[in-house]
Amino acid sequence: MKITPIIMNYNLPDITDDIYNILKSSGFEDILSVDNGSDINPLAKSANFILPKNIKSSGQIRMSLTYLMDYFPADYYLLINNSGNLFSNINYKKIIEKDIEHLKAQFLKKKFFKKKLGVLLASMLDKPNIPRKHLRQFVDKSQEYRSIFCPTTLCMAVSHDLLTICRKNNSSFFNLSLKRGWGNDLELFYEANKNNYINIVSSNFYTEWLINRGYKLNLGGEPVDDYHKYAMEEMQTSFNKKYSVFWNKRFRYQFLKNTLFLNLFLPFILNQFIL
């Protein structure tokens, strides 16, 4: 199984290099360190995929995914943005590979449970400044795996096959309307749920979320209030047009339809794979 990490640098070169070095020490070799084309800060030392112009969050991910999917395909792409911290005491490669193999093998064993692993996401450390709506994504060793509606996507392994569907449908990272990135996650999970892929949060590896990290350092390229305003407008305009004004209900219904059985029986389905 091949997993290719992609680090998205948003004007934080030192943080990007720290993430790169941790991934390297975990055993990853072909790491794509993407520079977003901004002139606010110098390049990260690790930068090896450099965009000539700033095409914002979605453009950065879309270009790197297109490059890899067409020329250097992997089974999963580990997408990481530098709004979060990784930890040097965690071997991300070993744990993520083990989680994916365990989940895929167990899904295959259950003949009645015809699901595929679409996205494997890191859990997060519980910090006072993180909104409580993300409670179910906090590290919880009593619940090793769980599926939630829209987890935070600081560090996630995404299936090549699922991304191929998104690309075909011009959705998620391939939705040109979502320039600032809001909605990429919602549409990714919607495509997964609609196509029998399961999105799983694992407590076996985790990140630390620093909300609006770049904006608090005045490195966001625009005021944070403008960013939130325009990102929300982009998402709502795009989804209203594609899915109607009831898109949120549609997304939630698809999640419930795809995961109701999973969330009821996940502990029993995965009982052979408690680490």
d(CA 76, CA 74): 5
Q: What is the CA radius of gyration of the chain?
A: 18
> For residue 275, what pLDDT is reported?
31
**Listed residue (104, 91, 117) closest to 196, CA to CA:** 117
Q: For residue 267, is pLDDT > 60?
A: no
- 44-84 tens-digit pLDDT: 999 999 999 888 888 999 999 999 999 999 999 999 998 88
d(CA 95, CA 125): 17
Mean pLDDT, rounded, for 143-169: 95
Least confident of 7-21, 62-76, 125-139, 261-275: 261-275
Q: How do the domains of the chain map onto residue ranges? A: 3-273
> For residue 249, what pLDDT is reported?
96
Domain formed by 3-273, architecture: Alpha-Beta Complex (3.90)
Give me the residue label for tokens 């449908």.
Answer: 169
Angle at the Cα of 206 from the Cα atoms of 100 and 194, rounded to 5 degrees: 50
Query: In the predicted model, what is the mean pLDDT of the chain?
Result: 89
Q: How confident is the model at residue 271 (pLDDT cuts 50, 70, 90)?
A: very low
